[in-house]
Amino acid sequence: MTGHIPVLLEEVLAFFSRMHGGACLDLTFGGGGHTQAILEHLPDATVLAMDQDPVAARNAASLQENFSGRLRFEARNFADLENIQESGFTGVLMDLGVSSFQLDDVSRGFSFREDAPLDMRMNPQQGQTAAEFLEKGSLREIETALRDYGEEPRWRAIARAIIEARGKGLLQRTASLAALVEQHAPRTAPGRRRIHPATRTFQGIRIAVNRELECLQDTLPVAFKKLAPGGVLVVISFHSLEDRIVKRFFRKIAGLSQHKNDPQPQQERQILGNLLTKKPIVPSPDEIKQNPRSRSAKLRAICKGRDL
């Protein structure tokens, strides 16, 4: 298996145990940590697993040997879920973002810690690379990536520098992009945790290149639709914009206003599900100590049907 440590594992298992097994759907298989735990703890469970990264298929192959007939893997983007025939799942999991195996494989271009081609695609067979995005994207798209997805305080200066650097080879590799960003972002933004100056820019570009928010927004309703009555949808997010999308969708399903300016009259709202987490569940200090990558995780869960 890979070095990816599954986040909030006990909590995920508790939600998946409510229906004592059955057909489960893991939309973000990654290193397979959550799926493996589900198969081990729920002997009556089967898992349909998906991941858009073809490398995840290799991770799935070894698990398939150990749990014969109980795990099927589909190398797909979860935005394609509508085209999967199966439904009636007792549990659906979305553990968003990137896996450790993606971050740690330098050649994938997710990290600025070593030099590599600037790729960042979770599915390297599809879509434009990060380098192509920076060379060809509009100023507005690049600003959105840096400001909204990366929450980079120096987004304006960095976006301008990226536009000026076009055609000079500086946007082709992780190291040259990191150096460019470093010229425009201070080492430590005031009042913030000490992180490398390129961290936020890289995160924002990754989210844009993989269309992470759009895929999430489009897939949540399909994932909910594919639940059996009483089934649970569990989503772990790592970014405030992701969490906001999940929170609003879950509130809508629960028949609540999505946000404080939601204009929809209460009598028009339908209650299709029951919130299982009024506030998101976050990792304990112990979990964060053992797995620092879990620190920004937020888990929300909802079950289908109103009286369950």
Ligand X SMILES: C[S@@+](CC[C@H](N)C(=O)[O-])C[C@H]1O[C@@H](n2cnc3c(N)ncnc32)[C@H](O)[C@@H]1O
Closest among 183, 7, 30, 184 to 100, alpha carbons compared: 30
Residue 21 sits in the site that holds ligand X (CB under 6 A): no
Q: Which of residues 116-175 bind ligand X (CB under 6 A)?
A: 122
What x-and-dash track marks residues 256-295 binding ligand X by CB under 6 A? Answer: ----------------------------------------
Q: Which stretch binds ligand X (CB under 6 A): 30-38, 137-145, 265-273, 275-283?
A: 30-38
Closest among 11, 46, 296 to 35, alpha carbons compared: 46
Q: Which stretch binds ligand X (CB under 6 A): 14-22, 73-81, 108-116, 152-160?
A: 73-81
With respect to ligand X, which residue has the nearer C-beta, 52 or 201? 52
Helix (H, G, I), strand (E, B) or coil at 47: strand
How far apart are alpha carbons 57 and 106 in whole angstroms? 19
Q: Which stretch binds ligand X (CB under 6 A): 97-105, 113-121, 149-157, 182-190?
A: 97-105
Amino acid type, 307: D
Closest among 209, 194, 201 to 165, alpha carbons compared: 201
Distances from the Cα of 129 to the Cα of 121, 134, 163, 202, angstroms: 6, 9, 16, 13
Residue 109 sits in the site that holds ligand X (CB under 6 A): no
With respect to ligand X, which residue has the nearer C-beta, 79 or 165? 79
What x-and-dash track marks residues 43-72 binding ligand X by CB under 6 A? Answer: -------xxxx--x----------------
Provide the 8-state DSSP code for 148. Answer: I
How far apart are alpha carbons 95 and 234 in whole angstroms? 8
With respect to ligand X, which residue has the nearer C-beta, 33 or 231? 33
Closest among 293, 300, 308, 307 to 100, alpha carbons compared: 293
Q: Which stretch binds ligand X (CB under 6 A): 26-34, 199-207, 220-228, 276-284?
A: 26-34
Residue 77 sits in the site that holds ligand X (CB under 6 A): yes
Q: How far is the CB of 98 from ligand X (least distance, A)?
A: 6
Residue 203 sits in the site that holds ligand X (CB under 6 A): no
Within 10 angstroms of residue 54's Cβ, the number of other Cβ atoms is 12
Distances from the Cα of 138 to the Cα of 118, 143, 163, 279, angstroms: 18, 9, 9, 37
At residue 83, what are phi and psi to the nearest 5 degrees?
-85, 5
With respect to ligand X, which residue has the nearer C-beta, 49 or 181? 49
> Which one among 8, 15, 24, 30 touches ligand X, defined by CB under 6 A?
30
Could you tell me if 137 and 166 are in contact, meaning their C-beta atoms sit under 8 angstroms apart? no
> Which one among 8, 15, 23, 32 touches ligand X, defined by CB under 6 A?
32
At residue 92, what are phi and psi to the nearest 5 degrees?
-125, 130
Contacts with ligand X by CB under 6 A: the residue count is: 22
Residue 6 sits in the site that holds ligand X (CB under 6 A): yes
- Helices 199-209 and 212-225: angle between axes, nearest 10 degrees: 50
With respect to ligand X, which residue has the nearer C-beta, 63 or 185? 63
Q: How far is the CB of 282 from ligand X (least distance, A)?
A: 16
What residues line the site for ligand X (CB under 6 A)? 4, 6, 28, 30-34, 50-53, 56, 77-79, 95, 97-99, 122, 215
